[in-house]
């Protein structure tokens, strides 16, 4: 399984930059970039902070997708 996310979609809906989101949740812009590109798996706390910022459930922004073998 692979952790996917919809951060870019939610940022576009709110018209905010990676830097603005990063500042709001206490992360670096580079970390937000890495999470969006699925190069870095966020901690539970970071995922919850991001979801709280967008006022949605964490499952609406982060989800697991099965990989076909």
Looking at the DSSP assignment, which residues form a beta bridge with residue 2? Answer: 65
Distances (CA, A) of 23 to 16, 32, 45, 59, 66: 11, 10, 15, 22, 32
pLDDT of residue 44: 97
- Residue 6 belongs to domain with CATH number: 1.10.260.40
Q: pLDDT tens across 32-63, in order?
A: 999 999 999 999 999 999 999 999 999 999 99
Number of domains in the chain: 1
Instruction: Kindly report the pTM of this predicted structure.
Output: 0.90
Nearest to 24 by CA among 46, 57, 2: 46
Nearest to 3 by CA among 31, 25, 36, 27: 36
Domain range for 58 is: 2-65
């Amino acid at each position: 399984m692979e952790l996917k996310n919809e951060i870019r979609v939610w940022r576009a809906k709110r018209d905010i930059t990676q830097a603005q989101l990063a500042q709001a949740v206490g992360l670096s812009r580079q970390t937000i970039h890495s999470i969006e590109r699925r190069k870095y798996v966020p901690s539970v706390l970071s995922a919850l902070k991001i979801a709280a910022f967008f006022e949605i459930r964490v499952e609406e922004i982060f989800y697991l997708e099965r990989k076909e073998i």
